Amino acid sequence: MRARLVLLSARLLDPATGLFLPQTALAAGEDGRILALGDDREVRALAGPATTVVDVKGAVVSPGLTDGHLHPVSGAELTHGLDLSGCTDLDGVRRELAGRVRSLAPGEWLSGWGLDPNVFGDGPVGTAPFESVLEGIPAFLLLFDAHSALASRRALELAGVDGPRTFGQASAEVVCDADGRPTGLLQEDAACELVERVAPRPTREQRRQRLAAALRAMAAAGLTGGHAMDANGESLELYAELDAAGELPLRLRVAPWCQPGTDADGVRALIGQQGTGGALWRVAGVKLFMDGTIDNGTAWLERPDGHGESTRAFWPDPAAYTEAIGQLHRAGVPTATHAIGDAAVRHVLDSVEKARAGGGPAGVRHRVEHIETVPDDTLRRFAALGVIASMQPTHCCDFTRADHTDNWSRRLGEERASRAWRCRDLWDSGATVVLGSDWPIAPFPPLGVMAGARHRRPSRNLTLAPHGPEQALTALEALRGMTTAAAFAEGAEHEAGRLAPGFRADLTVFAADPLTTPAEELPDLPVLLTVSDGRPTHRADGV
């Protein structure tokens, strides 16, 4: 077999050991798999007239980096408006909003994203501080967690929202004041959708272009794959279209949602979707939610937060969630459950334990996503039950503070805030820890995610103290979290996450060794080449 791609003069990094392999060259075959490893002369001989040959001149080649949790389609759409993620106080938000208002046409909507609730300090989260700027303007501002949003008075008026509502999602809420008037804060998808459905929507072609651009940027950052945690709307059709056109630069594992109220027939429909896909994407698994977020008071905690909130599960009847997990497990379908609070995580583990005791195929790999705060007795259950811990360390870095003066920490109090994102403890307990960004909640560049797992400092100011430095991972562990662990999480450890013949030719090429690059410098380490399925998806100038 002739090679599709040949890389020469390479240092081939093995994430299993952290050492370089003795070979200096790699060939990828037409089947998108690694064809051979060897010295430059041996591997160059496998090249034909159509082979892409790249001399990487001593660069480091790693198995391709995979983001363990991201939302490509919704992220491409949600990040198109005004970026408020750089605002650190209310004055900064008002300035950004005022600048955008001046450019709006009459009646045009203002959309924004990335708003950090810490800008409100000790005050309530709502639109009151912005009413003078947004007077008469329909505005929808997504908070950074994407589980809540602010809607201006004009937006609420257009949506016909003038008071509280009841939703199937137990933690969803139109937040109202003592007189029953909406404050502008909408909690969870069901409440946000009241306004989103009357706001202007991008055309299908705009959505396709935005998605393609986002995926290209991910490839340029070094990503070769991602575990996409939604399949809403036209997501699967867009993936299929890009894949058929040769414009899908990432290998995507897609998990459609199972929401509260999904009956047995709905679960069977999700089971029927499994395995569908194309060359570089497929439906594999189901995403569920056990709670919301700590920042907006919709997590599920064993004790209320400092505001007396975060006391309810996302599923009004948690037993119905347990039954859905059992049905999916018996069908051999892996699940990924959003569970942030300690009560939510415990219920997921209890449900998986019950499902395993009830029979079903061996080796079904269930996951818990986020795991922001859990007590000691929860940690060991991950390894015991074979449940994968999917973590996003940059959330801890960028949305909390070492001194616990941030909204997340103040809501939890010292005891629970001191056990934030326990990556180290989960790893040491024997759990498989997968790393990801949860984009668009946090930036997707994987080197930033790996760096955050190591230094746990705010990415905007690395001179600040780390939050829970004892929970940091080593450089090798962080690399494994986006290579070997990601492969294991999708049941692909026999074909992904290693540099070996027969394994996927998904590769990330760095200018230097990511294991010896200091954590604070890692986000700036140049990605020279990204390869997916044996084809370059990003090639830096001069490579």
Inter-residue contact 62 to 479 (CB < 8 Å): yes
β-pair partners for 176: 182
Q: Is residue 285 helix, strand or coil?
A: coil
Which pLDDT does position 8 carry in this prediction?
Answer: 98
Q: Is residue 367 helix, strand or coil?
A: strand
Q: In what side-by-side order are the strands of the sheet with 223-228?
A: 65-70, 223-228, 251-254, 281-283
Encoding tokens for residue 460?
A: 């905007």
* DSSP string across 103-156: TPPTT--EEEEEE-GGGGTTSPPSSGGGHHHHTT--EEEEETTSSEEEE-HHHH
Q: In what side-by-side order are the strands of the sheet with 527-532?
A: 19-20, 11-14, 60-63, 507-510, 527-532, 535-539
Write the pLDDT tens digit of every residue in 317-346.
Answer: 999 999 999 999 999 999 999 999 999 999
Which pLDDT does position 1 carry in this prediction?
Answer: 79
Angle between helix 376-385 and helix 342-357 axes, rounded to 10 deg: 30
β strands within 39-116, DSSP E: 52-55, 60-63, 65-70, 82-83, 110-115
Determine the Cα–Cα distance for residues 364 and 388; give it in Å rounded to an integer: 11
- Which regions of the chain are under pLDDT 50? none
Encoding tokens for residue 149?
A: 């949003």
β strands within 277-432, DSSP E: 281-283, 286-289, 335-339, 367-370, 388-391
Please report, rounded to a whole number, the percentage of residues in the chain having pLDDT higher than 90: 93
Q: Is residue 519 helix, strand or coil?
A: helix
Q: Is residue 464 helix, strand or coil?
A: coil
Inter-residue contact 43 to 90 (CB < 8 Å): no
Inter-residue contact 11 to 59 (CB < 8 Å): yes
* Backbone conformation region of residue 534, classed left if phi is above 0, alpha if psi is from -120 to 50, else beta: left
Which pLDDT does position 232 carry in this prediction?
Answer: 82
Q: In what side-by-side order are the strands of the sheet with 335-339?
A: 286-289, 335-339, 367-370, 388-391, 433-435
490 φ, ψ to 5°? Answer: -100, 10
**What is each CA distance from 257 to 54, 228, 231, 317, 338, in whole angstroms?**
41, 11, 7, 17, 11
Angle in degrees, CA 148, 151, 156, rounded to 5: 125
Inter-residue contact 202 to 233 (CB < 8 Å): no
Which pLDDT does position 492 carry in this prediction?
Answer: 97
Buried-state track 201-221, b at ≥16 Cβ within 10 A, e below 16: eeeeeebbebbbebbeebbbb
Which pLDDT does position 80 carry in this prediction?
Answer: 82
Residue 290, number of CB atoms within 10 A of its CB: 26
β-pair partners for 142: 149
Residue 76, number of CB atoms within 10 A of its CB: 24
Query: Which H or E run contains 96?
Result: helix 90-101
114 φ, ψ to 5°? Answer: 80, 15
Residues 6+ apart with CB under 8 A from 390: 68, 69, 227, 336, 367, 368, 369, 370, 371, 434, 436, 489
Determine the Cα–Cα distance for residues 525 and 284; give it in Å rounded to an integer: 32
Determine the Cα–Cα distance for residues 68 and 65; give it in Å rounded to an integer: 9
Residues 6+ apart with CB under 8 A from 378: 342, 345, 346, 349
Which DSSP symbol is given to 300? B
Which pLDDT does position 350 carry in this prediction?
Answer: 98
The one-letter amino acid at 99: G
Inter-residue contact 449 to 392 (CB < 8 Å): yes
